[in-house]
Amino acid sequence: MTATWNQPLTLPNGVTLKNRIAMAPMTTYSSELNGDISDQELTYYARRAKSGIGTVITACAYVQPQGAGFAWSIGTESDDRMESLTKLASAIKDNGATAILQIFHAGRQSNSQVLHGGTPVSASDVAFPREGSETPRALTGDEVEETIKAFGEATRRAIEAGFDGVEIHGANTYLIHQFFSPHSNRREDKWGQDRSAFPLAVVAEVKKAVSDYAKTPFIVGYRFSPEENYQPGFTIEEKLKLIDKLADQNLDYLHVSLQQFFDTSYDDASEKSRIERFQEVIAGRVPLMGVGSLNTKHDLDRATASGFAELFAIGRALITDPDWYKKVSENNGEGLLTEIDPDNQVALDIPDPLWDKIMNVKGWFPVKEQAGK
């Protein structure tokens, strides 16, 4: 019988999560300009950690100054961030959840404004296929090696700050994703001849940092996107081959980035969902985390019953209702908040910058209409 989402799960490294629900990594735009965590963010994370969920995965934290993807984001690029990172880990762990720091480099998804006049970097000097995207500078061979080492250093800082683990952000068109993509990686050196080389090198460096610095079992996860919808982009068949390799890297979980949990691929005729296809390749070697519009107990029960994932990430539903887990697990979702009341910011513990975006980006979150407006 398939285990349910509110039961514990022991990861390959022996760490036991109290349940299979994780807060998905979501950008808050609410850190200090230097990359330190803000007081409002600490409150935001602490509130959701104490809701009963097993794990909190933070917003992405950049591993190098040139890796910042947007202003007001979390930094893990320097030992100057140690006090901030320690506060963040404590805010999550002291409220009962496992604390995982997501580490990333934005690559060409950054811009000169965020980088204070600097030029974004990537595998090659090819701009993202979107109007207004800046053309990046291709990293030199030495810089590629330095970037890999920066992921290891970020892992060391996460360990020393008291986090329980890191999630390597290899998804959503950021730098690790860029090295795997034929659109953004046109290199002729070893990093271009084998586009899986950079993702695997980052994993190896992170695992080395864990071996060197962690005194107790430390979680390492990896998030990935299933395919690209522009040309030349990688196909789901290519990504399945990379995930087959990653499943042998002694990771503690893999995390597929999806809009809808049961989405099917748009680049071939398979009727199987993407997550089912990845689970077939992984074949029980490492737990798979799924995500995508899992908003209700019914959604979770259906996802669990599919057998396609062992872990489940919850995103906007946890912002909309910080007590989501308690309501879903204890009351079958009774009283669940499904839209955001514009008068309810304080009660929801949402930082000001994130709140402003929720209120002003139409269609991003369900927002309750106010009478007379």
pLDDT at 205: 98
Lowest mean pLDDT among 2-11, 24-33, 167-176: 2-11
Q: What percentage of the chain exceeds 90 in pLDDT? A: 93
Query: What is the b/e burial string over 230-260, where b = at least 16 CB atoms within 10 angstroms of the residue's CB?
Result: eeebbbbebbbebbeebbebebbbbbbbbee
CA 195 to chain centre: 21
> Domains in the chain: how many in total?
1
Q: For the segment 252-268, what is each residue's pLDDT rounded down to a tens digit?
A: 999 999 999 999 987 66
User: What is d(CA 298, CA 289) in angstroms, rounded to the nearest whole number?
Assistant: 18
Domain that holds residue 22: 9-360
Q: For the segment 60-94, what is each residue's pLDDT rounded down to a tens digit?
A: 999 999 999 999 999 999 999 999 999 999 999 99
For residue 272, being part of any structural domain is answered with: yes
Q: Supply the CATH number for residue 226's domain.
A: 3.20.20.70
For residue 1, being part of any structural domain is answered with: no
- Asked if residue 232 has a cis previous peptide bond (ω within 30° of 0), the answer is yes
Q: For the segment 279-338, what is each residue's pLDDT rounded down to a tens digit?
A: 999 999 999 999 999 999 999 999 999 999 999 999 999 999 999 999 999 878 789 999
- Average pLDDT over every residue of 226-243: 94
174 as an active site residue: the answer is yes
pLDDT at 2: 61
For residue 4, being part of any structural domain is answered with: no
For residue 370, being part of any structural domain is answered with: no
- Average pLDDT over every residue of 236-260: 97
Given a cut of 50, whether residue 1 has pLDDT beyond it is: no
For residue 252, being part of any structural domain is answered with: yes
For residue 300, being part of any structural domain is answered with: yes
Q: For the segment 191-234, what is each residue's pLDDT rounded down to a tens digit?
A: 999 999 999 999 999 999 999 999 999 999 999 999 999 899 99
User: What is d(CA 230, CA 184) in angstroms, rounded to the nearest whole number?
Assistant: 11
User: What is d(CA 362, CA 358) in angstroms, rounded to the nearest whole number?
Assistant: 8
User: What is d(CA 250, CA 240) in angstroms, rounded to the nearest whole number?
Assistant: 17
The runs of H, that is alpha helices, within 321-365 are 324-331, 345-348, 352-360
User: What is d(CA 332, CA 296) in angstroms, rounded to the nearest whole number?
Assistant: 8
For residue 371, being part of any structural domain is answered with: no
User: What is d(CA 74, CA 243) in angstroms, rounded to the nearest whole number?
Assistant: 28
Position of tokens 């309750």? 368
- Spatial CB neighbours of 248, under 8 Å, sequence gap ≥ 6: 285
DSSP state of 109: G
For residue 213, being part of any structural domain is answered with: yes
- Selecting among 44, 45, 174, 253, the annotated active-site residue is 174
pTM: 0.97
What's the start-to-end Cα distance of the chain, in Å? 50
- Average pLDDT over every residue of 346-356: 97
